[in-house]
Amino acid sequence: MLNKINFFRRYRKKRFFQDLIKKDQVCFDIGANMGSKTDLFLSTGANVIAFEPQQQCFDVLISKFKNNPRVTVEKVAVGEINSQKTLKISNESQISTFSDEFIKAYSHQTQFNWNGMEDVEMKTLDTLIQKYGVPDFCKIDVEGYEPQIFTSLSYNIPLTSFEFNYPLRHLSIECIKILEKFESPSFNYVAFESPKFELNRWVNSKEMMQIINRLPEQVKTGDIYMKNAIL
């Protein structure tokens, strides 16, 4: 029964992304971790460039996708400048982060720690776009470091998603304000890992900020999607 449930969950997620990503389009997977989203993007027929700074996750990605010509894996973090930076490594790799604010927000959960450190290379999203071209879709999941990525972004990406966390809603608001630099962006969101948009229409930045501010506490995390006016 569990295998059947997992199959249908994956099928629904695949259908969700098939409506957003077309065959042979290019996806950036920023914060690829172990490659679960890369797998989903590949299932649509897309080409994926996966960016992951953690050595253990990078090793998994290389092993997993080494024979797939539609995947490029680069060991790099994405942020506000091209530099070297210290990543705080968690015992749960999905929540390793550069953000002290993120760690403070979740440090009360005693099952997690950030006792490790790893010096990694950081590049701006603009630098990666200059290397690989403007992606059709860019997924960003960097545990509270999203504003820093958007601050230095100057390219108009057709579709972008970034994670939100309930205790750090103000960072999502900050991201939306930064993204207002692009012409008439519109927004929607997904709660948790649900394979559907919560809103029945795309809304402007002001409406999206109001929605984020009014989210109930039980919506602990999810992804905000931004569609640019060029679509």
Q: What's the confidence (pLDDT) of residue 12?
A: 85
Taking residues 47-68, report their average pLDDT.
Answer: 98
Taking residues 99-123, report their average pLDDT.
Answer: 96
Angle, vertex CA 112, rays to CA 111 and CA 117, nearest 5: 150
Please determine, for residue 2, whether its predicted confidence score (pLDDT) is greater than 90. no
Single pTM value for the model:
0.94
Residue 14 pLDDT class (50, 70, 90 cuts): confident
DSSP string of the chain?
A: -HHHHHHHHHHHHHHHHHTT--TT-EEEEET-TTSHHHHHHHHTT-EEEEE---HHHHHHHHHHHTT-TTEEEE--EEESSSEEEEEEE-SSGGG-BS-HHHHHHHTT-TT----EEEEEEEEEHHHHHHHH---SEEEE--TT-HHHHHHT--S--SEEEEEEEGGGHHHHHHHHHHHTTSSS-EEEEEETT-SS-SSSS-B-HHHHHHHHHT--TT--EEEEEEE-TT-
Q: What's the confidence (pLDDT) of residue 8?
A: 52
Q: What's the confidence (pLDDT) of residue 57?
A: 98
Q: What's the confidence (pLDDT) of residue 230?
A: 54
Please determine, for residue 71, whether its predicted confidence score (pLDDT) is greater than 70. yes
